[in-house]
A and B are shown apart, each in its own frame.
Chain A
Amino acid sequence: MAGSSAVLSDDSALSRIDRGIYRIEKVFGVIAGTTVLILMLLAVVSVGGRNLFNAPLPGYVDWIQVLMPLIAFLGISYAQRDGGHIRMDILIGRLQGRALWTAEFVTTLVTLGLILLLVWGSWAHFGRSFDWNARYFSRDSTIDIALPLWPAKLLVPVSFGIMALRLVLQLWGYAVAIASGSTTPVAVPLVKSAAEQAAEEAEHVSSLDR
């Protein structure tokens, strides 16, 4: 079903932009991963503080609420680049050439439509929690220690903005593929059979092996 796919590259402008954005996306991915590590340490501090010093971490839950969006949204475009979001490819896996790229173009276009709408919607969500005239610019805060919520809410339209950029790039890639009829287009995740995906998963595990 899911799994990541290979993305080919060459020296075209499209591919160079793809790799450029990919570098940024990867950094975001590492930040998201590091946040998981921080989450883990936070829990250790919370448990330790409570049981050893009777000093629970004030606002432990509030901090988790503020950190979670970093994990959930920063990596969205990184996953999209590699074709990592889950889908059902039982039908699309049978298509080839222009038919395949056209199908991909259409679903990617619909996805772009959704993401643009959500940039609007999540920006409005952020807007309702932000106020230039308030303390810490905050019109919405966490329950316990009143951490302002707007930075975490702002992260959503920002991440979706980068995602939109990535989708535009993929649309470009598919358009080029439709025009050329190529079987090996650059800058788009290639559909692979489940077996090929598994081979890649296997490769990953092998690289873990020591």
Chain B
Amino acid sequence: LEWNVSVWGKRRAFTEHIEKLAELVSEKTGGDFTMNVSYEGLSKNTENLDGIQIGAFEMAQICAGYHEDKNPTLTVLELPFLGVRNLEEEVAVSDALYAHPAVKKDLERWNAMLLMSSPMPQYNLVGTGEPRDTLEEFSGMRVRATGGMGEAFKAVGAVPTSVPSNEAYNAMESHVVDTVAFAQHAHLSFRTIDQGTWWTENLNPGTVNCPVVVNIDAYNSLTPEQKEALDSSVPEAIQYYIDNYQSEVLTQWDKILTEKNVTKVQYSDEEIAKFEAATQGVADEWIKARSAEGIPAQELYDLVKAKLKELHGM
């Protein structure tokens, strides 16, 4: 049995858990169950859910924020200032959300079930020009940020400006945008760090949620051994991903910041509290709009908050 797996871009830290999963599953089944991970060959990144529903491939990686109407329940994790502190917390809170019946139902419309998350650190800005180290200076700033994060920056007077991620470098160079919000691996692979002179070290406004999904029929038609091999490999694959992200990306990140002499901008607790307060409306608006569509939005939001509280309490 061979599964086709649709991902995009090039092989990078962001896809390492999928590569690891393929390796583990093949190992555990003695080569009886393999995965062909295809980068961009099978679908466009915004249409992986369509491909899953059609049945064109069995597994895919998606990003909720690329198509919020396709997966409204997942976008709760893209709201600003949820307070996620690291990759482990991102995994835990994702898993808690993915288990909620309303979320499962949301994905079932695509004949998809959530297999695992692709935890990403908080997005932070890489910027050109003088460092903007207070909230006031965000006013009029052209920022490349999508979804809930875009809304958050809008709330403090910035202007979200859409450019595709692969054009972010040019957009910065040509001042189409002043700043770009990405996770570190994306700042590296889309080379925005080559353009920027400063980086917001502790702004942590939020992140993007990018789960790996499988086609339900394909999953159900696995033999018990294959199913066991797949399910049991997930935690290991995730752990591999996290270790790799920490040791490869974050180390390289620190090295590059030093090499390029990029200013690390630290915001005071006060400034961050102000930012957080200004964006409270974004979550409220999300809850209101999504509730109107019959989604238990408040419940999902509370679930996420409660889970984080539990994590922080430990």
Contact = CB atoms under 8 A, between A and B. Distances in A.
B146 A135 contact: no
Given A61-B163, A62-B162, A135-B289, A143 B140 contact: no
7 contacts: A56-B142, A56-B159, A58-B160, A59-B162, A61-B162, A133-B293, A135-B69
Interface residues of chain A: helix, strand, loop or mixed (majority): loop
A141 B162 contact: no
B176 interface: yes
Interface in A167-201: none
Interface of A: 50, 54-56, 58-62, 124-125, 128, 133-135, 138-141, 143-146, 148
A133 B50 CA distance: 19
B140 A54 contact: yes
Contacts, number: 55
Given A61-B162, A143-B66, A135 B292 contact: yes
Contacts of A60: 161-162
B206 interface: no
Contacts of B289: 135
A141 B53 contact: no
Contacts of A124: 54
B69 A144 contact: no
B67 A141 contact: yes
B69 A134 contact: yes
Interface in B43-57: 46, 50, 53-54
A26 B290 CA distance: 43
B168 to A, nearest CB: 12
B293 A134 contact: yes
Contact of A50 (B65, B67, B142, B160): B142
B162 A144 contact: yes
A170 to B, nearest CB: 31
Given A135-B289, A135-B293, A144 B159 contact: no
A156 B224 CA distance: 43
Nearest to B66: A143
A139 B71 CA distance: 8
Nearest to B140: A54
A148 B6 CA distance: 25
B32 interface: no
B150 interface: yes
A135 to B, nearest CB: 6
